[in-house]
Amino acid sequence: MQCHHAPGRRRALRLGGPLFVFGFVSVFELGLFAVPAGASGGDGAWHPVVVQRLVRAFLDQGDQGVLGPRTLSVHLAQPSLKGDLLVAAVDDGVVTSGMVHPRYLFDHWELGATTIGGETANDGQGGYKTGGLQASIYFFPDNPGGIRTIEVASIPKGTQDFLTVTIAELSGVPADLSVDVTGTSTSGRTAAMYTQKSAVSTSAPTSARPDLVVALFNNGGNAPDGEHYVTRPGWTLIGEDTAPNNADQPILADFKVTETLGVVSQTERYLGGYPIDNCAVIVALK
């Protein structure tokens, strides 16, 4: 759910606050550039290289969530190269917990991990069971090349939603990757979550080595304003957005290559604030 307000304001938005309707969607580009993450070699190991990546938040006029029905798309800076791996991390937050979440699209992509969670009505004691946060990781192994426009999500009528997506193109990994193991983590608005950490782990040990592990954090908000992430060493950033004005749905996505078998965990620290609730997913690809 959209969570960039002080706790009292945020609760009002989620639990029946006013909806703001605009006749168009304004899309704010938050980052698009190529970043090398390593080097390919002939030693049989995986050496992922980030060919290109983008982060984009979708907002209506006045920094409001997009009101459905809408279909949201992004455009890569350059067409994808044949054989590269495409990875998408997408999260969203509905204005009120009872709203229907967007349907993520990513036609021809494979779903790595997904979850819905976060705060429910009346501090977790109400009737809503879905919460107001959603997070998913998709991947497209051995893409055919030439992909430029990607449909991200369909927002249903009656839903107002804040959505952020980050997409990365990686070379230097095998062409036939598939899901090894996944994990999810969600939490409502409880005293225990007023910390500066969020964590997610795979539900079981990995079964192959190496594995490419991707983690996504959808922080339900921050208080006070000005929060930013701190990623642990050994992980390569795919994309993040905490928005200086706290308008966008926050997102953090990163990856690492694991060479040993075992449960894989990732923890994000938040400086300048703390998550009000949390929704995170992790997937290991083999």
pLDDT in tens, 188-232: 655 555 667 788 999 999 999 999 999 999 876 655 555 667 778
Give the confidence band of 104 by pLDDT, cuts at 50, 70, 90.
very high
Closest CA to 53 of 34, 38, 30: 34
Residue 9 has a pLDDT of: 30
Residue 273 clears pLDDT 80, i.e. is over it: no
Residue 82 has a pLDDT of: 97
Q: How far apart are CA 55 and CA 59, in angstroms?
A: 13
User: What DSSP string describes 19-35?
Assistant: P---SSEEEEEEEEEEE
Q: How far apart are CA 171 and CA 232, in angstroms?
A: 23
pLDDT average, residue stretch 236-247: 78
Residue 111 has a pLDDT of: 98
Q: How far apart are CA 194 and CA 154, in angstroms?
A: 32
What torsion do the CA atoms of 61, 67, 69, 70 make, to the nearest 10 degrees? 40
First to last CA, the chain: 32
pLDDT average, residue stretch 170-180: 96
Instruction: Provide the 3-class DSSP secondary structure of residue 162.
Output: strand
Residue 187 has a pLDDT of: 75
Instruction: Provide the 3-class DSSP secondary structure of residue 10.
Output: helix
pLDDT average, residue stretch 44-59: 91
Residue 43 has a pLDDT of: 57
For all residues of the chain together, what is the average pLDDT? Answer: 79
Residue 242 clears pLDDT 80, i.e. is over it: no
The helix, strand and coil proportions of the chain, stated in percent and rounded to the nearest 5, come to 5, 50, 45
Percent residues over pLDDT 70 in the chain: 70
Instruction: Give the model confidence (pLDDT) of 56-94 as tens digits.
Output: 999 998 788 999 999 999 999 999 999 999 999 999 988
Q: Which distant-in-sequence residues (6+ apart) come within 8 Å of 233 by Cβ? A: none
Residue 178 clears pLDDT 90, i.e. is over it: yes
Length of the chain (residues): 286
Give the confidence band of 132 by pLDDT, cuts at 50, 70, 90.
confident
Residue 223 has a pLDDT of: 56
Residue 148 has a pLDDT of: 96
Residue 97 clears pLDDT 80, i.e. is over it: no
CB count in 10 Å sphere of residue 280: 29
Residue 19 has a pLDDT of: 34
Residue 105 has a pLDDT of: 97
DSSP state of 59: E
